[in-house]
Amino acid sequence: MITKSKKMPNCEAPCNGTLRVRLYDSGGNKIPIKGASIKVLEWTLSKWRHIEAQITDENGHAVFELLGGDSHRYGLAYENAFGFHEEPAACLGDEPQELFSIDCNCTKQINLGVPVNFTQQLVMCGPRSEELLCQDIVAGQPAKLRISHSAALGTPDIKLSSNQGGLSQPSIFIDGMDRVYEIAVDTTGMQGGYSFNASLKHADGSSIATNLIGTAVRNVQHVDARTTTSLTRTETSFTEDTAFWTGIRNSAEALSFNNYLSFMDWIFCGKQKPRELSQFESDRYDEKHVMWRDKLLKNRFLPFTDSDAYRVVKAATEAFVMVNCGIHRNDLQPFDPARDEAYLNRRDLPIPPSGLNHAFNKDYLVGVDGNGDVLPYLAVIRRKLPDIPIKIKPFEEASPNGDADECFGLLQEKLANPCLLELIWSYWHEEGMLVQTTNAVTRRFQNVRASGRDPLANLEMDPLRPLNNVLWGYIQDEQHRLTVNRRNYEYDHHYGLRLEGKAVQNFRPADTRSKFLEAFHHLLRLCTVFYKQDDDTTVKADAFPVLNALKEVHLILSQGAHNQFGDLPSTARIEMLMQQWLLARPEFRELLPTRIMVAYPEPWMDRVDAMKKLQGWTDTSVLHFRNLGMFGEQLLLSIRWGHWSDEFEPVKALNWARFFRPQAQGYIHAYRAATGVDLSVDLTANVPVDSTLPSVLLQKRLASQQRAM
C-alpha cells in the first residue's frame, strides 16, 4: 500500500478531508481496475464501523469525503476485484496495525494493487524464425498477439478488437502461473497506425482494459537484377463447409482407439491426460467422466452376478463414444486452431480471418424454427416435415406429468447434434477379423472346441487370469450385443456391402444399396485424376466431375439413412472398441505369439494378426482394414452430412478433394493392399470401375493364399 498526501491551503477548518483510492493491477502494467468495490471503515470503540462504499471508475478511482483530523482513523477494504478481496489490517493488541487519518482540508492518495497480471504484447518472427517483442508491424509478415492474465482468475470473459488487421481464434494454454492467449494477426495490407484493444471482465463485474498501439509499415524488399519465377497451385476461395470437414476430421481422431485407451487409463488407472491432447478433447475428458459417473452407471445394469467390472467398462465406453461423436454447441466443439490451420496450409486451402470455429457456428449452421442451428442438410430435411413438432426430452427423461404432445415429435438433440459415426468403420474392422478373434478367445475361455482343427485347444489360458472377471461379464452380456446377422443386414442397407461365411448364410435383405460401391469407387477414381491435374501447376484442375460424383454418392447414402441408422452404428462402435480394449491388454501379449518388433499404431492389432496366423485366416495385416475403416468413415461422413444435392459450383468440390486428399489416397492404397484391386486406374485406360463386393475379393485372395501353402 503506497500513500502520499498533498497539502491544500487553509488546512485549519472546516475539519473535512478527501480520500482518493486507486485500484490497479499490481502484476502487469499498473492498469486501473474498473467496477470493483472500495469500502471505507472507521476504527471507533475498538471495532470497525462501515462509513461508505463506492465502485471504481474507468481510471480505477473511488473518491470519498471524510471527517479529517487525528481523532478519525480509517481503514480500507475492497472486494469484487477479479475474485480478490481484502479486509482492513488484522488487530495487534487493542487496535489494528495500520490506520490512517486525513488532515483537515487535505487530499490523501492511497493505491491498492491486485495481482491480475494482465499483459498484452505483440510478437513478430525474426529473420531466423525467432520471436521478437516489438511495437511496429511489417505488413505481410507473421505476427501474433500474446495476452495473459493470472491463472487464478479462472476463465473470465476476454474481448479483442483492432482497427485494422484480422484476428484469428485464440490458442489458449497455461504458462507457469499465467493463462496465455495467442492470437495470430493477419497483417496483409496493414499500413499506418494500428490499435489492438483487449479487455477482461470477471463474473463479479470488475474489468480491466489495455490498448496496444503502433505503426504498420510496408515490407520493403531489395531486388537485384536477377529475378526468379515459380508456378503455384490454383488458388481457391474459402467455403464454410471446410469448417465442418475440420470438425469431422478432429472428431474421428478423438474417437480413435489410442485416445479411447488414454481415457480408460485416466478413468480407471489414475494416469495423466496425454500432453498432446487438444484443448477441446482435454475438456471432453471431464464431460465423459460426468456422463459415466452421474448418468450411465446409474442407468446401466446387467442381470448377472459378479459382472460389475465389465459393467463399468461398458458404461465408460458408451460415455466416450457419446461425447466424442457429436458436433456440440459449446466449448467442446472439435476445433484446435493451431493444428487446424496448419492442416489447411498443407492442403493449400484458405483460412477464414475469423477462425474456423466462428465460420462453422455463424456462417455454416442454419437456423430452423427458432430451435437452434443445425447442419444445412438437416435443415432441408426439417423443412420437409413442417407438421411435425420439435420435442426437447426423450421418453426416458420425460416427466410423468409432462405435456401430452411430448410423446410425438422430432428430438431436438438428434436434429442439432447428430452422432457423426459411419458403419463402414465397423464393416472393415469385422472384415479384418477383429470380432472373429474375440469370439475365438471367448469360446476357448468357455472350454468350447471349434469344429475341425482348433489351434487354441492346447493353448493354456492362464495368462488371462487377471482378466477373468471382465471376460466373464463380457460373455454373460452376449445376448445384449449385436449379432453378426444384424450387422450384416445393416451393412447391406447402408452400403450394399455384406460379409461372407457360414454365419451369414441364407442372406435375404429387403432393401440394398446396390449402386453404392460403383459410385464410391468412381468418385475415388475421379479424385486421382483431379490430384494429377491439381499437382500440375500449368493446368487448372477441373472439379466438376468430382462434384457430380459427390452428389451421386450423397443421394445413395441418404437413401439408406433409415430404420436402425440412428442407433446401430454407435452400438457397433461401442462393442468393437471394448473388443479392441480387451485385446490390447498386456495379458493377451502373453497369451498369443505376437511380433513385438512390428510397429503397429494401435496395441490390439498384433493380437489380431497373431490369431489370424494361428487360425490360417487371411495373411493381410489388420492395419490395412483399420485404415479402410478410419479413412472411409471420414470420407462418407463429409458426403452424407454435407448439403451436396443443391450445389452447382465446383469450388466446394475442389476444396473437398484437397481437404480429404490424405484420406482418399490412404483409402485407395489400403483397398489395394487388402483386396488387390487398384481404384486409381486412369480413365484413359478405358477400364470399368471395379464394383465387386470386397468380401468376394477377400474370399478369392484367401483361396489363392491357401492353395499356395
The residue that leads in pLDDT, 84 or 568, is 568
Give the pLDDT band (50/70/90) at residue 401: low
pLDDT at 132: 65
> Closest Cα partner for 313 from 269, 376, 351, 278?
269
The residue that leads in pLDDT, 6 or 267, is 267
Question: Quick check: 526 and 546 in contact, CB under 8 A?
Answer: yes
> Does the structure show a pLDDT above 70 at 701?
yes
Q: Which of 93-102, 136-145, 637-646, 670-679 has the lowest mean pLDDT?
A: 93-102
Give the pLDDT band (50/70/90) at residue 385: confident
- For the chain, the structural domain boundaries read 2-114, 119-217, 506-708
> Closest Cα partner for 521 from 659, 628, 362?
628
**Mean pLDDT score, 317-345:** 84
> Does the structure show a pLDDT above 60 at 56?
yes
What is the phi-psi region of residue 300: left when phi exceeds 0, alpha when psi lies from -120 to 50, beta otherwise? beta
The CATH class of the 2-114 domain is mainly beta
pLDDT at 440: 95
Q: CA 259 to CA 601: how far, in whole Å? A: 12
- For residue 276, how far is the Cα from the chain centroid? 13
Q: 119-217 has which CATH code?
A: 2.60.40.10
> Does the structure show a pLDDT above 60 at 405?
no
Helices (H) and strands (E) in the chain, counts: 22, 25
Question: Quick check: 415 and 366 in contact, CB under 8 A?
Answer: no
**Mean pLDDT score, 354-368:** 88
Q: CA 121 to CA 131: how far, in whole Å? A: 11
Q: CA 435 to CA 280: how far, in whole Å? A: 31
pLDDT at 93: 45
pLDDT at 2: 45
Q: How many CB atoms lie within 10 A of CB 289?
A: 16
pLDDT at 605: 96
> Closest Cα partner for 659 from 550, 517, 555?
550
> Does the structure show a pLDDT above 90 at 608?
yes
> Closest Cα partner for 690 from 676, 670, 708, 701?
676
Peptide linkage before 14 cis (omega within 30 of 0): yes
pTM over 0.75: no
String of DSSP letters for 390-444: EESS-GGGS-TTS-GGGGSSEEHHHHHS-----THHHHHHHHTTHHHHHHHHHHH
pLDDT at 126: 57
User: What does the radius of gyration of the chain's CA atoms come to, in whole angstroms?
Assistant: 33
**Mean pLDDT score, 33-49:** 88
Burial class (CB in 10 A: 0-12, 13-18, 19+), 384: exposed
pLDDT at 227: 65
Q: CA 545 to CA 527: how far, in whole Å? A: 9
Query: Which amino acid would we find at residue 259?
Result: N
**Mean pLDDT score, 267-292:** 75
Retrieve residue 29's grid coordinates.
502494467
Percent of the chain past pLDDT 90, that is, above it, reads 42
**Mean pLDDT score, 321-344:** 83
pLDDT at 292: 67
pLDDT tens, 66-90?
888 888 888 888 898 888 888 876 5
Q: CA 667 to CA 669: how far, in whole Å? A: 5
Q: Which of 295-304, 448-457, 606-615, 642-651 has the lowest mean pLDDT?
A: 295-304
**Mean pLDDT score, 526-541:** 93
pLDDT tens, 417-458?
788 999 999 999 999 999 999 999 999 999 999 888 889 988
* Beta strand pairing call for 207-217 and 192-201: antiparallel
Question: Quick check: 121 and 151 in contact, CB under 8 A?
Answer: no
**Mean pLDDT score, 550-556:** 97
Cell 474370399 sits on residue: 699
Provide the 3-class DSSP secondary structure of residue 210: strand
**Mean pLDDT score, 158-180:** 85
pLDDT at 390: 61
Give Dmax over CA atoms of the chain in angstroms.
116
pLDDT at 258: 94
Cell 491426460 sits on residue: 273
pLDDT tens, 481-532?
999 999 999 999 999 999 998 889 889 999 999 999 999 999 999 999 999 9
pLDDT at 407: 56
pLDDT at 587: 93
Sign of CA dihedral 604, 605, 606, 608: positive
Q: Which of 406-420, 619-633, 649-663 has the lowest mean pLDDT?
A: 406-420
Q: How many CB atoms lie within 10 A of CB 292?
A: 22
> Does the structure show a pLDDT above 80 at 230?
no
String of DSSP letters for 578-624: HHHHHHHSHHHHHHS---TTS--SSTTHHHHHHHHHHHT---S-HHH
Same fold, 2-114 and 119-217: yes
> Does the structure show a pLDDT above 60 at 229?
yes
Q: Could you tell me the CA-to-CA distances from 521 to 495, 650, 667 in Å, in that order?
A: 12, 20, 10
Taking all residues of the chain, what is their mean pLDDT, rounded to a whole number?
85
pLDDT tens, 98-150?
788 888 888 888 888 888 888 888 887 655 545 666 657 787 788 888 888 88
Retrieve residue 704's grid coordinates.
489363392
Provide the 3-class DSSP secondary structure of residue 548: helix
pLDDT at 372: 66
Residues in CB range of 674: below 8 A, 6 or more apart: 431, 620, 624, 625, 628, 694, 698
pLDDT at 478: 93
Give the pLDDT band (50/70/90) at residue 12: very low
Q: Which of 1-15, 158-172, 678-692 has the lowest mean pLDDT?
A: 1-15
> Closest Cα partner for 170 from 315, 358, 7?
358
